[in-house]
Amino acid sequence: MTGHEKYMFRAIELAKLGSGYVSPNPMVGCVLVKNDKIIGEGFHEKYGGPHAEDMAIKNSYELPLDSTAYINLEPCCIESKTPPCTKLLYENGIKECYISILDPNPKIAGNGVKALKEFGIKVHIGLCKEMSQKLNKGFIKWITQGKPWVILKIAQSKNGFLGLNNSTRTQITTNESICDVHNLRTKVDAILIGKNTALVDNPKLTVRYAKGTNPLRIILDTNRKLPLDLNVFRDQLAETIVLCSKDKFSNSRTSFCKYIAVQEQNGKLSLNESLIAIANEGVTTLLIESGPELIKSLMDENLIDELYLYSSNKNLKNADLKNPLKLSNKWKINFSKDIGEDNLINAERKLECLQEL
Ligand SMILES: NC(=O)c1ccc[n+]([C@@H]2O[C@H](COP(=O)([O-])OP(=O)(O)OC[C@H]3O[C@@H](n4cnc5c(N)ncnc54)[C@H](OP(=O)(O)O)[C@@H]3O)[C@@H](O)[C@H]2O)c1
């Protein structure tokens, strides 16, 4: 590993500390180095708060003059909730800048680099690029496509069932896997379920067996049929949004939840419109924890980006809630690991290649 990579790794590690607090902003970390020694570190800690570059400068224990900055995302060059970071870097005498990836925000996208160069700062782009893209995949999709990064979590028995039937709650995997899912919840902005899961499982969808913040809870309930005594409406532990049909309802809010009306399609909610409405709420990463009906609809429309498949080592007898997902060659497996007696596979949908001309 080169010294440059070591410092960029550190910037990426710092950026991760903002997970769960900065969305819909990206996670950004910054390291200032002088004479091959770190003199300042900072990260974007919360939405609306100072940017990573500003924090690193403020935290420096030596004058940052003539230092080199390592940042996992291109510095901003626009006045927003905070002053432009390009100007801050210049005013504090930073002479060189290693930037992992350009900011996909069209208002910045290369303009930050241009501004740094105009200030006479030497710029290098692309160090640890894949790691930085992976870290902010939610933000990148949200800002470029107006939809969240969609992660599907499934718990299946050894013989491929998600439960006994769609009117019974069944625990499929062990408590170790459940803790792992709670950890996954800390990394997303929102969780989405279908109406039947809300009704049958009455889940809380909060983070209880891991350290982190509770995500927003979202339910698809076309005709607003869900009773208001469910945990998601009663416990006040996180905000709840119900997506319902535009043909019957309009946007409204009660003390239980917020209702957002979206287009109906063949008697159900349009998933494309639902994802856009969810993104408009500032959700960059969305975890699906629903039953097979919603999973199948999402799969049919190729709307799932990433998958966490938890498999038990026990068969479920007399079950008819079959897992509709097949791990075909459309999926690239990132890793597979054992969690206690269960197994977890993480995979990502392969990008479709355009036919060669
Ligand atoms: N093992 C696991 O990983 C796991 C996870 C969660 C749940 N479960 C189990 O799954 C069962 C429930 O699953 P389920 O398949 O019956 O229901 P579901 O997927 O949780 O919910 C489906 C319902 O969501 C609403 N919906 C609105 N728009 C939709 C759309 N475009 N596509 C699909 N659904 C849409 C529909 O109700 P409206 O038409 O009324 O709006 C639909 O009937 C329960 O037994 C639960 O325990 C298992």
- Residue 153 Cα: closest atom of ligand 1: 3
Residue-level pLDDT at 357: 41
Question: Which phi-psi region, left, alpha or beta, contains residue 268 (left: φ > 0; alpha: ψ -120 to 50)?
Answer: beta
- Residue 221 Cα: closest atom of ligand 1: 41
Nearest CA to ligand 1 atom 46: 197
Look at the block and give the residue holding tokens 């009306």: 261
3-136: CATH topology is: Cytidine Deaminase; domain 2 (3.40.140)
Residue-level pLDDT at 356: 42
Q: Which of 41, 53, 74, 306 is catalytic?
A: 53
Does the CB atom of residue 222 touch ligand 1 within 6 A?
Answer: yes
Is residue 314 within 8 A of residue 161, CB to CB? The reply is no
Nearest residue to 27 via CA among 295, 284, 322, 314: 284
Does the CB atom of residue 163 touch ligand 1 within 6 A?
Answer: yes
Q: Which residues pair with 97 in a beta bridge?
A: 69, 123
Catalytic: 13?
A: no
Does the CB atom of residue 289 touch ligand 1 within 6 A?
Answer: yes
- Residue 164 Cα: closest atom of ligand 1: 45
Does the CB atom of residue 218 touch ligand 1 within 6 A?
Answer: no
Helix (H) / strand (E) element for 132: namely: helix 129-135
Pick the CATH number of 146-349 from 3.40.50.720, 3.20.20.60, 3.40.430.10, 3.90.1150.10: 3.40.430.10
The three-state secondary structure class of 85 is helix
Look at the block and give the residue holding tokens 């997902």: 325
Which parts of the chain sit beneath pLDDT 50? Answer: 356-357
Which among 181, 201, 217, 293 is the best mutation to test ligand 1's pocket, defined by most ligand atoms within 8 Å of the CB? Answer: 293
Residue-level pLDDT at 3: 86
Does the CB atom of residue 292 touch ligand 1 within 6 A?
Answer: yes
The length of the chain, given as a count of residues: 357
Nearest residue to 289 via CA among 336, 220, 241, 342: 220
Residue-level pLDDT at 166: 84
Which among 217, 222, 270 is the best mutation to test ligand 1's pocket, defined by most ligand atoms within 8 Å of the CB? Answer: 222
Q: Sign of the CA dihedral 7, 130, 107, 151?
A: negative
Residue-level pLDDT at 353: 55
Does the CB atom of residue 53 touch ligand 1 within 6 A?
Answer: no
Rounded distance from Cα 200 to ligand 1 centre (Å): 9
Per the prediction, the chain carries an average pLDDT of 95
Look at the block and give the residue holding tokens 């003390």: 255
Strands (E), the chain: 29-34, 37-43, 68-73, 96-101, 122-125, 149-156, 161-163, 190-194, 216-220, 240-245, 252-253, 258-262, 264-265, 268-269, 285-288, 306-311, 321-322, 331-339, 342-349
Nearest residue to 187 via CA among 299, 23, 13: 23
Domain boundaries, the chain: 3-136, 146-349
Rg of the chain over all Cα atoms, to the nearest angstrom? 22
